[in-house]
Structure 1
Amino acid sequence: MFDTAALEETDEVSRMLADAPDWPPLDEVFDALVAAGRPAPSGWLALELDLASADPGELDDAELVDAVADLDRIASWAAARQSRLLAEFARRRPADPRDVAAQGPGAVSRWAPDEIALALSVSRLAAGQRLAQARRLTEALPATLDAHEAGRIDATKVRAICDATQHLPDDRAARVQDRVLPAAERQSRAQLVAALRRAVIAVDPDGANDRHAKARLDRRVVVGAETEGMASLWALLAAPDALAAHQWLTRLARGLGSEDPRGIDARRADLLVDLLTGRVTSRAAATDADATTDADTGSAAAAPLRPVDPGKPLVQVVVPHSTLVGADEQPCDLVGYGPIPSDLARQIAADAVWKRLVTDPLSGALLDHGRTTYRPPAALTDFVRARDVHCRSPLCRRRALDSELDHTVPFPLGPTAAHNLTDGCPLHHREKHSPGWSVVQQPDGRLTWTTPTGHRYTSDPFDYRPEPDLPPRPPRQARPAPVPRRQVDLDWTSRGDPHDPPPF
């Protein structure tokens, strides 16, 4: 791919070689880059790609994909270099004592953001955020910055790591970083965010429980104005409550039957309005056999609304056995949502509307099922969805609850069993069967996807094993016995001033 002859003909490179006679020949430089496999992002690689991609029509499909990926890595390399320069600039602009007292350690001169903002034509706020992130990367998250400079992760992933660890002290932030970086290169940003949420809970379980308890106090319902005569009704709820409410709306919507012309989203929206405004919800198109007679008017009324699977648990929560019994504080998983703190998982594990799945800490897997019929039974469907968590396309985050079960080896050549079933969203289900695409399921649960250009990508199974190297769990303190109301009154009046407000 490297055309050194063409490169040496350029005036700019000729001047560079004349100014630096000790440089090795260009062909040796490029050979060294290629010898290591995929060239590391650098100015040399940018120069080569500039020449090689000048006429995209001369590249085949695989070379186009490789060039696109290499240019993305160069962009990451350049952004990381900029972060190092910004961090050095911030160190050269220390804050005066008053700014340090107001902003805390790591503060810079109040005018430093203005210098960067003018140079980059961005807002003062944006410049300040860049300076703060650059210092955070160089001082607390150096491995993240190294991965960025090597082109293994892009700017969106770097920002995700910084955001997820901003409330943690440097030592715990570094532990989170070390957990997620090995897989971050192969993940989408959404997958990395999910891994970060789990790692933060594992590294700081007590803090995660405290933050959830604090966040739960902020639950609310808000109405927002939209365009075209529409409005949004938005609710901030605890994750189990929100997921259960959505699942119940979905069951009611599906219970309306296939004859209902509305889409599933419109059905859910209309049912939500009916339920919250006290209207009688009924089937939109009831048959004569389902119709009932209104006692007051004598007219036929629609049959009552019936959800599909009314007795089935609304939500599954996956809890390691050691966490369920209180021996440790492992992250737990709300199927269809993601990691949740251990205290929340223990609170909901015994609730009647939840299905509890306890995992084996050694294998990190659930039990298997086997079938010889085409359509999987409900128990096998639930198992596969809890096992896969998401669509098994390498980068897709569509929930398995909203996906379709697919035979990797088509039935009847392949059995209807867990080792031959995966979850795929409708888009990637169709993609799998498109010309040039293929998927192979490995014995360990990994899926190998091959694209029409011959590039291969791996989808790893969800791993329920406990997080390693958890901090020791402090012993739980016994809750104090409740104080009788009469004793509270006596204690309050005996404090001194009877005009002070009571402590409740």
Structure 2
Amino acid sequence: MFDEQLAEVAAARTPATRVRAFARLENAACAARLASMADMLAAAYAAQGSADREQWRFDNWSAVCAQIGAAHGITSGMASGLLMDAVALAERLPKLRELFAAGALSYRTVHIVCGRTMLVKDPDARRAVDAALSTQFGSGAAMSVDQIEKAVDTVVLTHDPLAVRRCEASAHGHRADVFIDDASGTAHLNASLSVTDGMALDQRADALARTVCAHDPRSLDIRRAAALGAMGFGWDRLPCLCERADCAAGARPPAGGVVIYVVARQDAVDAVPESAPGPAPDPGPEPDPEPESQPPQPDSESQPHPGPKPDPDPDPLPVGDLTAQRRALVARRRPLFAKPWYRHTWPELISGLRGDRGELCPVAPGVILGGPVLPAPVIAQIASHATLRPLVHPGQSPPEPRYRPSTALARFIRCRDRTCRFPGCTRTVTDIDHTIAYPFGPTAASNLVALCREHHLCKTFWAGWRTRQFTDGTLEWTDPDGGTHITRPGSLALFPELCTPTAPVPPVGSPPPQHTAGLTMPRRERTRAEDRASRIDDERQSNIGWVQRYRRELVAPF
């Protein structure tokens, strides 16, 4: 399949010709990869009983996406996008597929074409669009993304005006987007609201920002931003951060119904002031005593002589105080210079700007379950008005005598795994699953993993998927083709102590390969194909008015 591209690579003699040859080889390999994905879907549809599985909540498409995602280490959503392009090339764009397989097109171009021709339904129009696009892109002329989109839309408009993908149609309407800035403790909100909703939000933020006492160190702008978070938690007031024992506002903790779980070390929450209001920490169960063991000490005579120590940093960064760093998050910003900048000389300005190199944080960061990493000062600030619960490692504790894990054990599993443990999946945890089905496998940390609902259904109902769990939480997945994929707990990097091996759990008896007796797969009201066809019809219908206006504008006014 790649003989022509490989021969071109072998014949290349200059860096420029090698770049061109490898680009064509990469394009051809990508085309072959997408073709294999389309073959996987065709095999799933051809399998016995596939028609009945089309209305399963985890249907044939989901099963193929899960296998593609595991093989690539990507999410099922990204795998679904690749499969959509693979099906479009196989069913709607055969001439473009030939160019792609020959290495003449990049995947960027193919992806744009597949997406912007999705609404073309008539078979004759599809063939005409495919032929016109293959002729236009077969020339190999360099084009920007905007030029590619306009070229595709022009061809589609010529052969099927109702199938044009209009940017204003997809962007129309109000929306609110939250962008998480990982490892900084900051999120950015971008919203478009109706005028009444915007005015109500503005007044509500201002009212919440004024529920603190006069000694709160934050400015009004910072408190208004914090008020948006208070709305998200469903709080009726903003927690006051003055840290005064006689604060009337701080004596009334806010009431709400939304819970965000943050995993942190004890020294991060120890910076909370003693006078800070809030419920007392839950003591929780006592941890099991760990067996005392000492690592073997090497013989002093056999130890190698240490080499010369490297010279220390002549000016190392200082390690700051966590309490001071926490308070600096909400304190009013100090001026950069003691006097106006125009009264300084140029060397003084340069020295002032370069003088503060910052300081290190003495405490390790934490993490939001299903969210970003948080610096320790941010965690300490959050803990000042949060409920604190100790996380207890189960150690060598025996299994629990029930199907549903206790609250403490379930909390440990969620904090240890952080997200769904399927290969490539980053979804928030919804289910805690027994690796060896209960009652053949006990309810213990070494037999429990966190999964999202989709991949829980995949493991439970879809034949061919198997899992094997190790005592440190490592999970080995085996796909229907026999390939293996390893996933490790999400806490391994930040909290390796949570991955300390727990008690092994040998199975009780011989569990069946697929223990689904008495269980029923949730079903869809309509198949995925019916949903997709309905969305295409709706978007074509919404284009009717635009096409009519477009055709009227083409007619001369005289």
Shorter-chain TM-score: which interval? 0.3 to 0.5
TM-score by length of 1: 0.37
TM-score by length of 2: 0.34
User: Which has the higher relative contact order, 1 or 2, with Cα contacts under 8 A spaced 6 or more apart?
Assistant: 2
Instruction: Pick the structure with more strand per residue.
Output: 1
